[in-house]
Chains A and B, each alone.
Chain A
Amino acid sequence: MNTLLHMLSWLFAIILAPLLSGVINRTKALYGGRKGQPLFQAYYDLFKLLNKGAVYSQTTSWIFRAAPIISLSVVLTALLLIPIMGYRSVLSFRGDFIFLAYILGLMRFVTVLAALDTGSAFEGMGASREMQFSLLAEPIFLICLAVLAAGTGQLDLSGMIQSLWSASSPQTNAATFLLTGALIIVLLTENARIPVDDPATHLELTMIHEVMILDHGGIDLAFIEYASALKLWLFSALSIGIALPLRTGNPYMDFIIGIGGIFLTAVIIGIIESTMARLRLLRLPQMMIAAAALSLTAFIWVT
C-alpha cells in the first residue's frame, strides 16, 4: 500500500473527530431521557467560532497567541503516528511511542503556559491542577506503551498493535486486559472527562481543563476545541486498537472495524459519564494510583 492510502486514517480523524463529542452527548441525552443536541453540534460551534475575531488581553504575550496553533499542530502530527487496528499509520519508526508520549506533553505544556500567561489566578489554579493530574497520568501512559513494546517485541506503534492478540503469547494477552483498564482511566484523565473533570460545567471551582481556556476566544478557541476533539479521537483509536481482540489480517476490514470501535468508545464514555459522578479532587490520586497498579502489574506480567 502506498502512503496516500495510509493518509486515509489521518483524513478520517480530521473529518470525523468532532462527531465523537456529538455521539457522547447523544448517549448522555438518551440516558437522561432527553432528545439531546444535534449530532453535528460540535461542527456548528467550530464554524461559528472560526467566523469570529479574537480579542486579546493586554497582559498576554505572544505565548498566549501561539499556544492554540502549537497545540493543534502537535495533535495533527501525533495523529500521523496512530494506527487504526491493523491499518498501519502514516508515519512509523522505531521508538515512535516515546515520541507520541512527549509530543502530547508538549501540547499540555503550551496550554498550561498560555493559561499562566493570562495572569489570572483562576487559570493558574486550573494550570496547577492540570499539571498535578498529568504528572500521574503521563507515567501510566508511558508504562502502558512500554508493556506493549515488551509484550510484542516491536518498537513502533503500528507493529505493536498489529501483533497484539496473537494466540502464541497468552501472557501478553492477559496483560492486555489490564492495559485496557489502565488506558480507559488515562483516556478519561487526558481528555478531561467525567470522573476526573466535568466538561459540561463552566465557571465552577472544581474544573480543570475548561478553566485554562477561559480567556481564549474566536479562532483560538476553535483551534483548542478542535485540538481536544482530535486528542479524544487519538486516545480512542489507540485504546480500541489495544482492547479489541480482533485481527482480520485484511487492513481494510481492520480499518472499518476500527472506525466503528472508535465510535463504540465514544458510547462507552457516554455511559461512564451518565452513570458516574465526578470524583472529589482528593479522591482522584487514588484512582490514578489504581491505574498505575494495573499498568505496573501488566508490566511485571510481561517481563
Chain B
Amino acid sequence: MNHTLWAEIFVLGVVLTNFRLLASSRLLVLINTMQIQAISLSAIPIALAPSALPFRLVLLAMITLAVKGWILPRLLKRAVQKTNIQREIEPFVRYEFSILLGIILLGLCFYISHRFKTDANLTSHFLLPSALFSLMTGLLIIVSRRKALTQVIGYLTMENGVYLFGAALAIEEPLLVEMGVLLDVFVAVFIMGITIYQINSEFDHIDTDRLSELKD
C-alpha cells in the first residue's frame, strides 16, 4: 500500500459517496454520507503531499475535517430533528434514474477533463474528473429534489467539488482564503438550518416547489 493507492482510494471514496447521495432517500443517511465524504476529502491533500508534510496542509486538513466532518453534520442533524422530516419521498427525478444520470455524468466528467488543457501539473489523474463529478452531483441534487434540506446537502456537495478542484490543480491558495471559504460555508449552512426550521414551523413542510404558491 503506497501513497498513490491511498489517494486513489480516497478519491474513489468521494465518487462513491456521491453515488450514495444520489441513491438515498433518508435524510439521516444523506448526512452520514456527507460526513464520510468530508473525511475522505480532507485526507486527499495529505495523501497526495510529498513525504515531508507542510504544517499548513495538516492544519487545513484538520480544520476542514472539523467543520465539514463534524460541525456541519451536527447542524444538519439538528435541523432534521427539529423539522421532524425523515425522508425525501417524491423527488422530481426517481432514484434509479438519478443513479443512471450519475453514471452518465461521471463518464462525461472524465471525457471533459481529458480534453482539458491545463498548465498546472495535475497531481493525480483522477482528481479533476472527480472534482467535476462532485460539482455535477451537487447540481443534480439541487435541481432534482424537493426538500430544502436535501438541497442544502446538494450545495455542500458542490462546495466539496470546489475544494477538490483546488486540490487537483494544487493551487497554492493562501491559508486566509481557504479559511474564508470554510467560514462562508459554515455560515451559509447555519443560516439555511435556521431558515428551514422557520419555513417548517410556518408552513408545516419544507418542499421548495410549494413555496412559489404562497398566499398571505
A contact residues vs B (CB 8 Å cutoff): 167, 170-171, 173-174, 177-178, 285-286, 289-290, 292-294, 296-297, 300-301
* Contact A170 B103, CB 8 Å, known A285-B96, A286-B95, A297-B15: no
* Contact A173 B5, CB 8 Å, known A289-B96, A301-B12: yes
Q: Could you tell me if A289 and B99 are in contact, using CB atoms closer than 8 angstroms? A: yes
Q: Could you tell me if B23 and A286 are in contact, using CB atoms closer than 8 angstroms? A: yes
Q: Could you tell me if B2 and A171 are in contact, using CB atoms closer than 8 angstroms? A: no
Cα–Cα distance between A199 and B153 once the two chains are bound (Å)? 40
B53 to chain A, nearest CB (A): 20
Q: Could you tell me if B19 and A297 are in contact, using CB atoms closer than 8 angstroms? A: yes
Interface string of B16-30 (1 = CB under 8 A from A): 100100010000000
Residue from A177, A290, A296, A300 having most chain B Cβ neighbours under 10 A = A300
B126 within 8 A of A: yes
A167 to chain B, nearest CB (A): 7
Cα–Cα distance between A292 and B106 once the two chains are bound (Å)? 13
* Contact A174 B96, CB 8 Å, known A290-B19, A293-B103, A301-B126: no
Closest to B6 in A: A170
Contacts of A297 in B (CB 8 A): 12, 15-16, 19, 103, 106
* Contact A289 B8, CB 8 Å, known A167-B2, A170-B2, A300-B106: no
B91 within 8 A of A: no
Cα–Cα distance between A170 and B125 once the two chains are bound (Å)? 11
Q: A292-B103, A297-B103 are in contact. List 8 more A-B contacts (CB 8 A).
A: A167-B2, A286-B95, A286-B96, A289-B99, A290-B19, A297-B15, A297-B16, A300-B110
B201 within 8 A of A: no
Q: Could you tell me if B126 and A293 are in contact, using CB atoms closer than 8 angstroms? A: no
B191 within 8 A of A: no
A257 to chain B, nearest CB (A): 19
B124 to chain A, nearest CB (A): 9
B80 to chain A, nearest CB (A): 23
Cα–Cα distance between A166 and B207 once the two chains are bound (Å)? 50
Contacts of A292 in B (CB 8 A): 99, 103
* Residues 1-51 of B contacting A (Cβ, < 8 Å): 2, 4-5, 7-9, 11-12, 15-16, 19, 23
11 A-B pairs in the complex with CB atoms less than 8 angstroms apart: A170-B7, A171-B126, A173-B5, A174-B9, A174-B12, A178-B16, A286-B23, A290-B99, A292-B99, A297-B15, A301-B126
Contacts of B7 in A (CB 8 A): 170
B96 to chain A, nearest CB (A): 5
B130 to chain A, nearest CB (A): 10
Q: Could you tell me if A290 and B23 are in contact, using CB atoms closer than 8 angstroms? A: yes
Q: Which of B8, B19, B99, B100 contacts A171 (CB 8 A)?
A: B8
Cα–Cα distance between A153 and B89 once the two chains are bound (Å)? 45
Q: Could you tell me if A170 and B5 are in contact, using CB atoms closer than 8 angstroms? A: yes
Contacts of A177 in B (CB 8 A): 9, 12
Q: Could you tell me if B8 and A173 are in contact, using CB atoms closer than 8 angstroms? A: yes
Contacts of A301 in B (CB 8 A): 12, 126
Contacts of B96 in A (CB 8 A): 285-286, 289
B171 to chain A, nearest CB (A): 24
B65 to chain A, nearest CB (A): 22
Q: Could you tell me if A170 and B99 are in contact, using CB atoms closer than 8 angstroms? A: no
Cα–Cα distance between A289 and B95 once the two chains are bound (Å)? 10
A243 to chain B, nearest CB (A): 15
Cα–Cα distance between A292 and B100 once the two chains are bound (Å)? 9
Contacts of A294 in B (CB 8 A): 16, 19
B154 within 8 A of A: no
B161 within 8 A of A: no
Q: Could you tell me if A289 and B106 are in contact, using CB atoms closer than 8 angstroms? A: no
Q: Could you tell me if B19 and A293 are in contact, using CB atoms closer than 8 angstroms? A: yes
Residue from B2, B19, B103 having most chain A Cβ neighbours under 10 A = B103
B102 within 8 A of A: yes
Q: Which of A171, A174, A300 contacts B107 (CB 8 A)?
A: A300
Q: Rank and list the top 5 A-B pairs by shortest CB-CB distance, nearest first.
A: A174-B8, A170-B5, A170-B4, A170-B8, A296-B103
A114 to chain B, nearest CB (A): 32
A150 to chain B, nearest CB (A): 14
